[in-house]
């Protein structure tokens, strides 16, 4: 049976951004949810000891970490964060490379290849795998660049490891404004890049089949996802809308009508990745981090419980993974520490830890 850890990013362990829990509460709530194998987080300067203590106290490892970087300024920070990851026990480090470098110039594919190779060398020495993420506002927002960079990296006999956050793909479907970013619309219109996961040759399936995916960030989103009108950026623009509630919000918790069926394209990619991981002897997938979060482009200002949604989504992923393994004749996959105590939920889980209800 293939191992698969399911955890939660630290920023997702809260109900709303009206109240941010402290480090101890973050670990306690994640542990009490009884569905997560680990916490995904990079401690800030001076917090490493606090994180390690809380991790030990609640028997919840820091399996993965991550940060964002501006080339020409943050190379030393990336190397330092890989050191912090090792110190905390993380085996993966999620890497977001911003679209422009410190001089304000667009980052080229060659720039990304160069920093990937450097990061891979640092990570190999430390026992931490850098995973370059598909993400808005980053070099990879034009999804066609991912394959080009991966091909160049692997031509140097170095495996390309990525973090698949397909919410950034799904929310652009049927959204001309979002597809125009970085000129993605021209490649979509010409058929060189396929966003729809139900269509042959979809970009997510290409990444999965190529064995690039080392970890997944699971944040539900829907085609033409609504803007987040409850949060604005400093320039006054609404959040771009890369998050959709996984469970139906209660009255007053969200600003849109909720339709569960709209989540099916997002769910399909999760199922496709799980199916591939179960069947492919070459799969590199090690973990899935639940990543519904409170920032402007995601769930800033919302009234529904972000943690409650992350718990429900984690339970759904575990159910899908169990189903796939049973269909393949594998033994019961309930073996990991979190899996063995995971709750089976219907539409909505019982109240999330600390939820004021």
Q: Provide mean pLDDT across the span 19-29.
A: 97
* pLDDT of 322 over the 50 cut: yes
Instruction: Report whether 152 contacts 112 (CB < 8 A).
Output: no
Res. 331 pLDDT band, cuts 50 70 90: low
Instruction: Quote the pLDDT of residue 45.
Output: 82
103 alpha-carbon distance from chain centroid: 28
Note whether residue 350 is domain-resident.
Answer: no
Note whether residue 255 is domain-resident.
Answer: yes
The DSSP call for residue 262 is G
Which tens digits make up the pLDDT trace of 97-113? 999 999 999 999 999 99
pTM of the model: 0.94
Question: Which residue in this structure is represented by tokens 């995601």?
Answer: 298
* pLDDT of 88 over the 70 cut: yes
* pLDDT of 265 over the 70 cut: yes
Q: Provide mean pLDDT across the span 314-337.
A: 81
Which tens digits make up the pLDDT trace of 210-239? 999 999 999 999 999 999 999 999 999 999
Q: Express the helix, strand and coil content of the chain in percent, nearest 5 each.
A: 40, 15, 45
DSSP string across 20-85: ---HHHHHHHHHHTT--S-EE--PPTT-HHHHHHHHHHTT--EEEEEEEE-TTT-HHHHHHHHHHH
Note whether residue 357 is domain-resident.
Answer: no
* pLDDT of 357 over the 70 cut: no
Mean model confidence pLDDT for the chain: 93
* pLDDT of 321 over the 50 cut: yes
Q: Provide mean pLDDT across the span 313-335.
A: 85
The DSSP call for residue 106 is B
83 alpha-carbon distance from chain centroid: 21
Note whether residue 356 is domain-resident.
Answer: no
Q: Total domain count for the chain?
A: 1
Note whether residue 353 is domain-resident.
Answer: no
Q: Provide mean pLDDT across the span 273-280.
A: 97
* pLDDT of 297 over the 50 cut: yes
Q: Provide mean pLDDT across the span 149-168.
A: 98
Q: Who has greater pLDDT, 284 or 357?
A: 284
Note whether residue 349 is domain-resident.
Answer: no
CB-side neighbour CA atoms (13 Å) of 121: 8
Note whether residue 249 is domain-resident.
Answer: yes
Instruction: Quote the pLDDT of residue 267.
Output: 98
Res. 332 pLDDT band, cuts 50 70 90: low
Instruction: Report whether 2 contacts 278 (CB < 8 A).
Output: yes
% residues pLDDT > 90 (the chain): 90
Res. 268 pLDDT band, cuts 50 70 90: very high
CATH number assigned to the domain comprising residue 140: 3.20.20.150
* Lowest model confidence (mean pLDDT) among 14-28, 214-228, 326-340: 326-340
Which tens digits make up the pLDDT trace of 172-185? 999 999 999 999 99
Instruction: Report whether 7 contacts 37 (CB < 8 A).
Output: yes
Return the exposure string of 254-288: e unless at least 16 CB atoms fall within 10 Å of the residue's CB, then b.
Answer: beeebeeebbebbbbbbbbbbbbbbeeeebbbbbb
Res. 333 pLDDT band, cuts 50 70 90: very low
* Lowest model confidence (mean pLDDT) among 68-77, 211-220, 260-269, 321-330: 321-330
* pLDDT of 335 over the 70 cut: no
Instruction: Quote the pLDDT of residue 69.
Output: 98
Which tens digits make up the pLDDT trace of 38-68? 999 999 989 999 999 999 999 999 999 999 9
Domain hosting residue 177, numbered range: 5-341
Note whether residue 224 is domain-resident.
Answer: yes
Instruction: Quote the pLDDT of residue 108.
Output: 98
């Amino acid at each position: 049976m293939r191992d698969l850890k399911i955890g939660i990013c630290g920023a997702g362990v809260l109900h709303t951004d009206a109240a941010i829990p402290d480090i101890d509460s973050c670990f306690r709530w994640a542990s009490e949810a009884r569905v997560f194998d680990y916490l995904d987080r990079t401690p800030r300067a001076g917090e490493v000891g606090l994180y390690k203590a809380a991790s030990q106290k609640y028997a919840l490892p820091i399996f993965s970490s991550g940060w964002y970087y501006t080339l020409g300024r943050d190379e030393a920070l990336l190397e330092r964060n890989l050191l912090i990851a090792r110190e905390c026990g993380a085996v993966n480090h999620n890497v977001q490379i911003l679209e422009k470098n410190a001089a304000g110039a667009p980052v080229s594919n060659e720039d990304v290849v160069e920093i990937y190779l450097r990061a891979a060398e640092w990570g190999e020495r430390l026992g931490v795998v850098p995973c370059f993420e598909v993400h808005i506002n980053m070099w990879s927002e034009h999804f066609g660049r991912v394959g080009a960079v991966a091909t160049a990296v692997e031509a140097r006999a170095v495996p390309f490891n990525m973090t698949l956050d397909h919410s950034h793909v799904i929310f652009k479907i049927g959204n001309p404004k979002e597809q125009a970013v970085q000129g993605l619309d021209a490649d979509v219109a010409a058929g060189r890049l396929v966003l729809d996961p139900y269509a042959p040759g979809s970009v997510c399936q290409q990444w999965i089949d190529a064995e690039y995916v080392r970890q997944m960030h699971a944040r539900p989103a829907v085609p033409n996802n609504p803007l987040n009108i409850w949060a604005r950026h400093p320039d006054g623009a609404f959040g771009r809308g890369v998050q959709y509630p996984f469970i139906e919000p209660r009255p007053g918790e969200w600003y849109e009508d909720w339709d569960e069926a709209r989540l099916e394209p997002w769910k399909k990619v999760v199922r496709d990745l799980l199916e591939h991981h179960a069947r492919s002897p070459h799969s590199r997938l090690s973990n899935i981090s639940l990543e519904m979060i409170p920032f402007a482009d995601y769930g800033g200002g919302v009234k529904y419980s972000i943690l409650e949604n992350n718990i429900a989504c984690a339970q759904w992923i575990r159910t899908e993974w169990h189903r796939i393994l049973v269909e393949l004749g594998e033994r019961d996959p309930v073996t990991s520490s979190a899996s063995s105590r995971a709750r089976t939920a219907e539409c909505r889980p019982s109240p999330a830890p600390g939820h004021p209800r």
